[in-house]
């Protein structure tokens, strides 16, 4: 694994509210909803941006900034997501999607 892959960490404990925040972030990106289960660059970017916006990423530092004329901008480790290499965004977006699916598929022993 690379250094940037080793630095990536998602939350380990999730609530319904965490999932609603992620989905609300996705709903704000309509193209991402149409392409939700595809391996498209739009889907990968949307999952990463939604995770940043919902606070799912523990490490590295992330940030959402409101741009003057261009709307929101999402930063991962100090870099605008739009400027990251597509394969990095694909890997990160897939990790978010894997967590999204696995947490909903597990059945906790306690309420």
Residues in the chain: 111
* Assessment of whether the complete model's pTM goes beyond 0.85: yes
Tally of CB atoms within 10 A around 2: 9
pLDDT (tens digit, 0 to 9) for every residue of the chain, 111 residues total?
Answer: 999 999 999 999 999 999 999 999 988 886 666 666 677 888 899 999 999 999 999 999 999 998 776 688 999 999 999 999 999 999 999 999 999 999 999 888 888
Q: State the Cα angle at 13 between 40 and 28, rounded to 5°.
A: 40
What distance in Å separates the CA atoms of residue 56 and residue 51, rounded to the nearest whole number?
5
Give the ranges where the chain is alpha helix by DSSP (H).
3-7, 16-27, 30-34, 41-54, 86-105
Each residue of 33-48: pLDDT tens digit?
666 667 788 889 999 9
What distance in Å separates the CA atoms of residue 91 and residue 20, rounded to the nearest whole number?
23
């Amino acid at each position: 694994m690379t250094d940037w892959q080793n630095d990536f960490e998602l939350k380990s404990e999730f609530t319904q509210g965490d999932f609603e925040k992620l989905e609300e972030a996705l709903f704000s990106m309509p193209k991402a909803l149409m392409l939700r289960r595809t391996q498209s660059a739009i889907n990968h970017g949307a999952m990463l941006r939604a995770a940043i916006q919902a606070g799912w990423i523990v490490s590295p530092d992330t940030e959402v900034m409101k741009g003057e004329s261009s709307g929101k901008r999402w930063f991962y480790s100090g870099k605008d997501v739009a400027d990251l290499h597509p394969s990095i965004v694909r890997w990160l977006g897939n990790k978010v999607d894997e967590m999204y699916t696995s947490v909903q598929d597990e059945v906790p022993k306690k309420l």
